[in-house]
Amino acid sequence: MPRQSTRTKKPATKAAEPEKVEKVVEEKPQKEQKKRGRKPKQVVEETPVEDKMEVEEEQNEEETTTQTKADKQQPEQQEETGSDSEDGSDDEEENDLDLNALDESDSDSEFERDLNEKQSAAGIQANKYQNAAEEESSDEEDEDEIDIDDLDAEGEEGEEIKAISQARQTINNKQGLLTALKRFALGTSDKVPFAFHQSVVSKKVTEESIPAIDDDLARELAFMNQALEAARVGRALLRKEGVPFTRPTDYFAETLRSDETMEKVKAKLIEEATAKKASAEARKQRDLKKFGKQVQVAKQQERAKQKRDTLEKIELLKKKRKDGSGPSGATEAEDLFDVAVDNELKGKPGSKDNSKKRGRDGKESGGPNAKRQRKNDKFGFGGKKKYTKSNDALSSGDVSGFSARKMKSGGGEGGRAGGPGGGSKPKKFKPAPRPGKARRAASAGRR
């Protein structure tokens, strides 16, 4: 704040002097930054900096005269100059300066410059036209400066450069921008029909509706809302002016994206949809499989239970018959399949309870599940496994697979078919019928 007082109190004195020094000092890091960031030979970029330097020096010379005017015209500017000096003094102490304050501070010095421009109307115009001529000369100058700057930069600490780059001074010549705007702007005021420019400036600031810039969805939604609002407004305005808006359905013309691309997009969409569907299907199948096993096991158990129940019932019935009617034992076998009795049994509530109980018991003693059962069958479960497949007295005595008829028919084929499998389909392996007597005799004769 100390500099503010000196400035406002005596603008006609040497208040401009320290400013100038400060400017030049701050200019250097900026240039360094430039050199670091961009290629050294970029003439177009570098030359304007030269211009700016020159202009500023001019400005500083004249500043003393214009200062009073500027202060009178804009009382707010005093505050800004205050912030300017403050920033300048705090520069070494704080790395993270208030950017807004800096911005304003830049602009106000630029504003002064514009006052100068107004006084000498040639100002920028002259600069602009000189520019081409200066480019050649400034190119060489630039190269010289690059060497010096590079040397300086090497001597300094990296930290320091970083800090400077954060607080580097930039140009924001607001007045210049506005004059430039005035020079080339098309009128978009209310007098101009909307169809002339077709631009809608939103009343809202879009950034305010974006919670975090990294949140893609929210950000795009905000952009879309802005565009949607513009589309609504624009449509209403265009309709008011009688400008055709909607494309009729029978209007065909070349589109921005070719049919080929749209086809691709469509294919992509379909592919995505099918992939999604397939994955859903697969998941469903997987779930079903997991669940299906349980169902299967349950069914098997149910069946087993049913079988056990019926067997028990029969057993019970048998006992009953035996106990109840001894003499009628002859018809026992028939009665076994007496449906009426069976039905009666089923109807009995007591028996049902009984069966249920049994069932539960059965479940407990039901033992291994189907998988285990199958494995037990296959691999055996406990006990001796050796010689299980070799013959013993019983198996060698077993002649159930033997068929005299097959043996009679003879032949290798018959022998092969003589096993237990062969018995099941005797017709297929039936040998050719015996030839007739004459033929047999003939064949015997040949021998």
Partner 1 sequence: MAAVYKSLSKSAKKVEDTEENNNTTTTNGGFRKNKQRVLILSSRGVTYRHRHLLNDLAAMLPHGRKDVKFDSKSKLYQLNELAELYNCNNVMFFEARKGKDLYMWFSKVPNGPTVKFHAQNLHTMEELHFTGNCLKGSRPLLSFDGAFEQEPHYRVIKEVFLQMFGVPQGARKSKPFIDHVMSFSIADGKIWVRNYEIREVEKAKGEKDSEGNDIPEDKSSSKKRKGAPNAELKDTDVSLVEIGPRFVLTPIVIQEGAFGGPIIYENKRFISPNHVRSELRKSKATRHNARTEQVKERLGKLETLTAQAKAEKDVLDTRELFA
Q: Which of residues 156-185 bind partner 1 (CB under 8 A)?
A: 158, 165, 168-174, 176-178, 180-181, 183-185
CB of 61 vs partner 1, minimal distance in Å: 18
> Can you tell me which of 118, 141, 148, 193 binds partner 1, judged by CB under 8 A?
193
DSSP notation for 14-34: TTHHHHHHHHHHHHHHHHHHH
Give the integer Cα–Cα distance in Å for 182 and 174: 12
Q: Which stretch binds partner 1 (CB under 8 A): 9-17, 20-28, 196-204, 391-399?
A: 196-204
Picking from 30, 23, 68, 65, the residue whose alpha carbon sits closest to that of residue 49 is: 30
Residue with smaller CB distance to partner 1, 205 or 399: 205
From the list 42-50, 85-93, 354-362, 387-395, the region that binds partner 1 by CB under 8 A is: 42-50
Closest to partner 1 by CB, 196 vs 402, is 196
Binding-site size, partner 1 (CB under 8 A): 99
Q: What is the rounded CA–CA span in Å between residue 373 and residue 300? A: 12
Question: Who's near 32: CB < 8 A, 6+ residues apart?
Answer: 149, 152, 153, 161, 164
Q: How far is the CB of 290 from partner 1 (least distance, A)?
A: 36
Contact present, 169 and 106 (Cβ < 8 Å): yes
CB of 177 to partner 1, least distance (A): 4
In the complex, what is the shortest distance from the CB of residue 132 to partner 1, in angstroms, rounded to a whole number? 6
- Within residues 139-158, the interface with partner 1 by CB under 8 A covers 158
Instruction: Return the number of the residue (201 or 393) whose C-beta is nearest partner 1.
Output: 201
- Scanning 95-103, 303-311, 420-428, 430-438 for contacts with partner 1 by CB under 8 A, the matching segment is 95-103
Residues 406, 413: Cα–Cα separation, whole Å: 10
* Shortest spacing between CB 225 and partner 1, in angstroms: 9
* H or E stretch covering 388: none
Q: Extract long-range pairs of 312-315: CB within 8 Å, 24+ residues apart.
A: 312/355, 312/358, 313/342, 313/345, 313/351, 313/355
Q: Segment 203-232, which members bind partner 1 (CB under 8 A)?
A: 203-207, 210, 213, 219-220, 222-224, 226-232
SS3 421: helix
- Which positions from 335 through 364 interact with partner 1, judged by CB under 8 A? none
Nearer to partner 1, 174 or 308 (CB): 174
* CB-neighbour burial class of residue 62 (10 A; exposed 0-12, middle 13-18, buried 19+): middle
Cα–Cα distance, 165 to 411 (Å, whole number): 106
User: Per CB under 8 A, which of residues 253..292 are in contact with partner 1?
Assistant: 253-257, 261-262, 264-265, 268-269
The span from the CA of 237 to the CA of 194, in Å, is 7
412 part of the interface to partner 1, by CB under 8 A: no
The answer to whether 373 contacts partner 1 (rule: CB under 8 A) is: no
32 burial level (CB within 10 Å; 0-12, 13-18, 19+): buried
Residue 49 binding partner 1, by CB under 8 A? yes
Q: How far is the CB of 210 from partner 1 (least distance, A)?
A: 6
Q: Which is nearer to partner 1, 159 or 377 (CB)?
A: 159
Residues 51-90 that bind partner 1 (CB under 8 A): 51-52, 55
Among residues 100, 154, 157, 246, the one that binds partner 1 under rule CB under 8 A: 246
Instruction: Report if residue 121 touches partner 1, rule: CB under 8 A.
Output: no
Nearer to partner 1, 13 or 73 (CB): 73
Q: Distance (Å, rounded) from C-alpha 127 to C-alpha 45? A: 15
Q: Where are the alpha helices (DSSP H) in 38-157?
A: 43-73, 76-90, 99-119, 123-155
Apex 160 CA angle, 145 and 110, nearest 5: 65
The backbone torsions φ and ψ at residue 159, rounded to the nearest 5 degrees and listed phi first, read: -60, -45
Return the residue of 12, 24, 195, 298 that touches partner 1, per CB under 8 A: 195
Helices 76-90 and 2-9, packing angle to 10 deg:
140
CB of 211 to partner 1, least distance (A): 11
Residue 48 makes contact with partner 1 by CB under 8 A:
yes
